[in-house]
A and B are shown apart, each in its own frame.
Chain A
Amino acid sequence: GAGVSQSPSNKVTEKGKDVELRCDPISGHTALYWYRQRLGQGLEFLIYFQGNSAPDKSGLPSDRFSAERTGESVSTLTIQRTQQEDSAVYLCASSPGLPSSYEQYFGPGTRLTVT
């Protein structure tokens, strides 16, 4: 079946512009996660959605970052007034959200370059 998809795959933007990144999770997955991965670095947790519960926003680095999710489907990560330090790969993952399976399935990522 279809895996997690993300768009765009690459985004180059000028400093100060806003960007929107999109994630389409696996159908039926109730949990959705956003991570940031700088070049050669680990996975930095940003935000987590679980069903209709309030999202866990504890990883968002500043108020320039926000994310939304429509029900149990698409999610968008918005970065306002982008800065050069925002340059990274943004990974989305989804999970069935069941005790029987905590496995996270990752999308291919969006490579963001802020010039």
Chain B
Amino acid sequence: GENVEQHPSTLSVQEGDSAVIKCTYSDSASNYFPWYKQELGKRPQLIIDIRSNVGEKKDQRIAVTLNKTAKHFSLHITETQPEDSAVYFCAPRAAGNKLTFGGGTRVLVKP
């Protein structure tokens, strides 16, 4: 099965700075790469995703970059704000409709 690792496990940044989270996966057949955000006490929600025919996708302050050769993809958050504080999960898809969730990265944005 797919092995997924996220780094770092925790990330503390000053408001306005950038944050980057990296996700590595093992299955070269993976072709869909989403990031989910889970605020404290709430359900996970999709914030951005990318497919394997694209190298980068941007949506306002967040972006995802993909390196299929190296089997990793990253979440980039620019101009961080306190509401970006949450746990972020990567969840690559290898087969069927099943996603494999990483262990999560806890991001704290300090005002």
Cβ-closest chain B residue relative to A30: B97
**Across-interface contacts of A12 in B (CB, < 8 A):** none
A42 CB to nearest B CB, Å: 4
In the complex the two chains form, is B97's CB within 8 Å of A95's CB?
yes
In the complex the two chains form, is B44's CB within 8 Å of A108's CB?
no
In the complex the two chains form, is A43's CB within 8 Å of B98's CB?
no
**Across-interface contacts of B46 in A (CB, < 8 A):** 103-104
B73 at the interface (CB under 8 A from A): no
A67 at the interface (CB under 8 A from B): no
Cα–Cα distance between A95 and B93 once the two chains are bound (Å):
13
A31 at the interface (CB under 8 A from B): yes
In the complex the two chains form, is A102's CB within 8 Å of B32's CB?
yes
Give the contacts of A68-109 with B (CB-CB under 8 A): 91, 95, 97, 102-104, 106-109
A20 at the interface (CB under 8 A from B): no
B99 at the interface (CB under 8 A from A): yes
Q: Per-residue CB proximity of B80-111 to A under 8 Å, as 1/0?
A: 00000000010101001111111110000000
In the complex the two chains form, is A56's CB within 8 Å of B44's CB?
no
**Known A42-B101, A43-B89, A97-B97: A102·B43 in contact at CB below 8 Å:** no
**Known A42-B101, A48-B98: A106·B43 in contact at CB below 8 Å:** yes
**Across-interface contacts of B103 in A (CB, < 8 A):** 41-42
**Across-interface contacts of A56 in B (CB, < 8 A):** 96, 98
B98 CB to nearest A CB, Å: 5
In the complex the two chains form, is B97's CB within 8 Å of A42's CB?
no
Most buried by B among A35, A106, A107, A108: A106
Given contacts A106-B44, A106-B45, 16 further A-B contacts (CB under 8 A): A31-B97, A42-B102, A42-B103, A42-B104, A43-B101, A45-B100, A48-B97, A50-B97, A56-B96, A58-B1, A102-B93, A103-B34, A104-B44, A104-B46, A104-B91, A109-B43
Interface on B for A, CB 8 Å cutoff?
1, 32, 34, 43-46, 49, 89, 91, 93, 96-104
Shortest beta-carbon contacts, A-B, top 10: A106-B43, A43-B101, A42-B103, A31-B97, A42-B104, A103-B46, A102-B32, A106-B44, A97-B97, A48-B98
